């Protein structure tokens, strides 16, 4: 295991069961196979903000347990690439938001080394970014070349109806009932990107637990206005 203790905790909602897969079935199927030991390769996942990249990486780690590690590079960019040392001892390394360190020579050398170590050890590397490997800000040609060997998947943004279903799925996973009319009201009163919607659902969950209320429109309105 890695000798450096990274203060990481997976979000309890970030599992495959709470991810609405519409238009992204191929990458979900690939990752499920990977978590079940049916894939011999990692992958590169790219897409716009709030499309579910972090969710899926954490879902893989939730399935694999201690054999894997999730590293949000944006949170550790200032710590330096020393955090990557010994990670190749894990079976699966999930690096979220490689854009946060792209262009930094020390980080790119460390990423190149990690890729080679995982390959030699028969491990898996999963990477997320806002763009495909050859379109990122990675400057080290050998690193771009290595990353381009990974299967590449683009995450599609959910359509309006898909966002509603995703929100209801997340609510059910938390043990909440989110009726269609309440979900529609919620989406009409806040930002419609999934990050904002999930953040509001977290607030509603906490307040519903505290007050023992159901997710009715009047209740949701009171939380939004508070």
Which stretch of DSSP H or E encloses residue 5? none
What is the spatial distance between Cα 66 and Cα 160, in angstroms, rounded to a whole number? 36
CATH number, domain 160-225: 1.10.8.60
Minimum mean pLDDT range among 4-8, 20-24, 200-204: 4-8
SS3 state of residue 224: helix
Residue spans per domain, the chain? 16-154, 160-225
Q: Is pLDDT of 9 > 70?
A: no
Q: Which pTM does this prediction carry? A: 0.88
Give the pLDDT score at 194: 81
Average pLDDT over residues 161-189: 90
Express as a percent the part of the chain with pLDDT over 70. Answer: 96
Collect all residues with Cβ–Cβ distance below 8 Å to 181 and sequence separation of at least 6: 217
Alpha helices in 65-193, H assignment, sequence order:
73-76, 105-121, 141-147, 160-173, 180-188
**Per-residue model confidence as pLDDT tens digits over 23-79:** 999 999 999 999 999 998 899 999 999 899 999 999 999 999 999 999 999 999 999
Average pLDDT over residues 92-102: 98
CA-based angle 111:115:121, to the nearest 5? Answer: 140
What mean pLDDT value characterizes the chain? 91
Q: Which one of 3.60.20.10, 3.40.309.10, 3.40.50.300, 3.40.640.10 gives the CATH number of domain 16-154?
A: 3.40.50.300
What is the spatial distance between Cα 18 and Cα 166, in angstroms, rounded to a whole number? 8
């Amino acid at each position: 295991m890695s000798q450096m203790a990274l203060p990481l905790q997976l979000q309890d909602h970030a599992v495959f069961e709470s991810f609405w897969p519409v238009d992204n079935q191929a990458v979900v199927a690939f990752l499920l196979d990977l978590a079940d030991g049916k894939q011999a390769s990692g992958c590169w996942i790219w897409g716009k903000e709030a499309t579910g990249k972090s969710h899926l990486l954490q879902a893989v780690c939730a399935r694999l347990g201690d054999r894997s590690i999730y590293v949000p590079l944006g949170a550790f960019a200032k710590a330096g690439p020393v955090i990557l040392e010994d990670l190749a001892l894990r079976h699966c390394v999930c690096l979220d938001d490689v854009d946060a360190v792209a262009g930094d020579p020390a980080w790119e050398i460390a990423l190149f080394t990690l890729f080679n170590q995982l390959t030699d050890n028969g491990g898996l590397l999963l990477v997320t970014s806002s763009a495909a490997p050859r379109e990122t800000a990675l400057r080290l040609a050998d690193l771009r070349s290595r990353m381009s060997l990974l299967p590449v998947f683009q995450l599609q943004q959910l359509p309006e109806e898909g966002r509603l279903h995703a929100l209801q799925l997340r609510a059910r996973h938390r043990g909440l009932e989110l009726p269609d009319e309440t979900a529609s009201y919620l989406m009409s009163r806040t930002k419609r990107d999934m990050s904002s919607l999930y953040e509001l659902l977290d607030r509603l969950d906490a307040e519903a637990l505290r007050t023992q209320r159901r997710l009715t429109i009047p209740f949701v309105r009171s939380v939004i206005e508070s």
